[in-house]
Amino acid sequence: MGKFQKIQELFVSGLIKVSGYSAIIFVLLILYFLLSEGLPALKEVSVQSLLETRWYPIEDFYGLLPLIGGSIIVTLGATLIAVPIGIGTAVYIAEVSPRWAKEILKPMVEVLAGIPSVVLGFLGILAFTSLLRQSLDLPTGLTALTGSILLALISIPTIVSVSEDALDAVPRSYRDAAVALGATEWETIWKVTLPAARSGVITAVMLGIGRTIGETMAVMMVTGNAPILPTGLRDLFSPVRTMTATIAAEMGEVASGSTHYHILFFIGIVLFLISLIVNLTASAVVFRQRKRSERILS
């Protein structure tokens, strides 16, 4: 190897290393930026007033609870809708459907994943709001439930494609063994294939939840954005204001460096922490299961 080649080698491998580490650097930079802009909020406003139930920033009411509650209830509703449908679709595509149906369904799910959330928001305003209001006899159709339905549509493709991959990865011999023991098709799916693919399916659900909690545009258009603290699942039928919609609606207007500005970044920190917790839970669950299965196999 000549000298030139060595330099070349060094240069290229260096560049590749930098691009590899850049993801870590970006996350750290974002975290630093969030903390430096958001933490001053704690100095300007007491923690107690952040735990109030009234959000009205232009009159200095900075209670975050309605916003956190709003994000949680919309995400919870979306998960309740998306998980059964998503896993059901994945099971159908991977286990039950004939080949031609599979070839139509898979691209269709991917098309659903490609629809921009603003477009889904329009769909929500046009189709769901008045339908929900009339069929459930609600005062208004702009509710948490409307947001949940749209978010379910957004997260279903993620859940379907990831859990379908996990189901595909289950070895054929498992199913053959189950059928040989006299299990029906349903018993094979429910008791053998799904448990075997469990860690992949749980990852799929967690990715779906992550997608849901960060979504902004569709939610802002259909949830009504009223900062009411939800107290139970019953509040799915009333308007809510999510953290993401609050940041999007108010960030453009605040004077940079003001208390309101710092609080909006603080909401960003809370969002970041919540998705971190979701991710950590997911990997903890997957990790524990792998250990248990390793124990059984050894």
Q: Which parts of this chain interact with another protein (CB under 8 A)?
A: 8, 11-12, 15, 54, 56-59, 61, 66, 125, 129-130, 133, 139-142, 220-221, 224-228, 238-239, 241, 249-250, 252-256, 258
Cα 148 from Cα 164, distance rounded (Å): 23
Decide whether 36 or 53 has the Cβ nearer to another protein: 53
Minimum gap (Å) between residue 257 Cβ and another protein: 9
In sequence order, what are the beta bridge partners of 62? 55
Minimum gap (Å) between residue 12 Cβ and another protein: 6
Minimum gap (Å) between residue 151 Cβ and another protein: 18
Decide whether 40 or 195 has the Cβ nearer to another protein: 40
Decide whether 151 or 192 has the Cβ nearer to another protein: 151
Decide whether 142 or 152 has the Cβ nearer to another protein: 142
Minimum gap (Å) between residue 249 Cβ and another protein: 5
Decide whether 79 or 238 has the Cβ nearer to another protein: 238
Minimum gap (Å) between residue 19 Cβ and another protein: 10
